[in-house]
Structure 1
Amino acid sequence: MMFANRVISGLAASLLLGVTASAVVAGPYPSFSDTSHQVLPGQISAWATSVVDYSPTAGVDAAYADASHALAANDGGIVSLGDLDAAQIAAGDLPGTLTVKFDTLISDLAGPDLAVFENASQFYTDPVIFAELAYVEVSSNGTDFVRFPSVSLNTEDDLVANFGRAYAGADTTNIYNLAGVHPTGIGTPFDLAELSGMAEVVSGAVDLSAIQYVRLVDIPGSGDFVDSLGNPIFDAWVTTGSGGLDLDAVGAINTVPEPSTTLLALLGIALVAGGRLAKRG
């Protein structure tokens, strides 16, 4: 969610008066500022190249509804998934989603394998940040997806809402494996190894050596949506205009060429070698 000038002005004034996040006790997970749990653009070997599906909720401003902003390198341009208010949640409306595809395959190798770049705002005291969270899912065939297990230990009382519930800050040391906790230019890492025991992977429906699709599913921060342990998830809510997750980019860290690309490369080598042998003959 982007801020109107009047909100930013009020925020700046409040900070000058010393209104910051209240003292918090660190949770069990790394803060957004922990460099060991960050991915920088230089670590990315491939960026998403096409949008397979973009299904935002109603009310996303046109300026934030261009799904192409999720492609290529992170550049600060965003596409928003939208938020849901209480009435929409009660009516069973679905959260906003966006699915991107890579030209190369993402593989489960050492360390994190992919990263999601968002634009969480740093106007609270570390480890609290203005976050709009989302689940992350991956697929090797574009049909069968598996969701990264996630944890969110913040209660609604843990949120820092000096500027209203819609601008609430969340303690990032209480959040794990959800997109949206890092500021612009820093990616949130995800390790495919954490999916190895999931039913979709065990059955063979999802191949962790050949991931080509990544899907983001927004989480309205009302507490109606839960983490993998059944804990309610709270974040800034209800957000409007550019509400929900603001996706900048999705990057792959560990990649392997598609089989077709490898075959073409081998064919090229064979043709070159054959030509050289013919000349010698």
Structure 2
Amino acid sequence: MRTRCLALLRRDPFSAACIAVLLIVLLAGLFAPWLAPNSPVETAVRLKYQPMSWQFPLGTDNLGRCVFSRLLFGIRTTVFYAFGTMLVTVTLGAGLGLLAGMLRGRFEAVLMRVCDVMLAFPAEVVILAVVGLLGPGIENILLAVIGVKWAWYARMVRSTVVQYTHRNYVRYAQVIGAPPSHVLRRHLLPVTAAEIATLASVDVASVILLISALSFLGLGVQPPTPEWGSMLNEAKTVMLVQPMQMLPAGIAIVVVVMACNGLGDFLRDQLDVGRERRQTAGVQSADKKDAHV
């Protein structure tokens, strides 16, 4: 499997570049305290709008802070929070969807009605309403995102589980006495991997944009914590006289979002192929068992 993925990456340079960009960004954020040449929050007004140099690789902002250092530490508040939020969202939504698809009955009915209520409103409107009620702050944004997006995964996974529960290879596993946890882990969860991976990668990109947008509006990460959206907010006031202030954070957002979408396309293609092979093998195996009987 690993060899096949490496071979496919060599034939698909765009996907390889997207994965490389994400790895570099994540490592840069992880090792930001050692890579940053200056403090991301220390101000020195006399050094404001310094040009690029060895001391300040991307210059300084309106308060004399190192733009490059703030860009590195901004990975933690923009990218890391987005990945962490989606990890919690996927775990919660997929877990509830699997249980609903397996248990059925009243639990499934109640869960699906809750999902219907959550999905009846545009996600952005609900998130803005929650942030407006709870107040600005990155914690409130992340809670709002989890509260809104888990329903998508619960409904999607539940539909997939219901669809594949009636397949021959799943029924055979149940007939021979395989425990429900084995059926979920070996037969039902793998067929949902493509949908989960594709939707999660796209949602990571949307959460990055959401965090940056709300921080740009002053509702997200609060100063002086470095964050890409707040960096754009601070740079917009001098956009005409200091246009270079907008470029680092803006380019970083565009590149990371594009890389997340490219990763989603790659995972969808690979997992779809693997799912088709598993389905074919499972159907053939079940047919052989039926013919033998």
Q: Report the TM-score when normalising by structure 2.
A: 0.30
More strand by percentage:
1
Choose between structure 1 and 2 for higher RCO, CA contacts under 8 A separated by at least 6 residues: 1
Q: Report the TM-score when normalising by structure 1.
A: 0.31
More helix by percentage:
2
Rg (Cα) greater in structure: 2
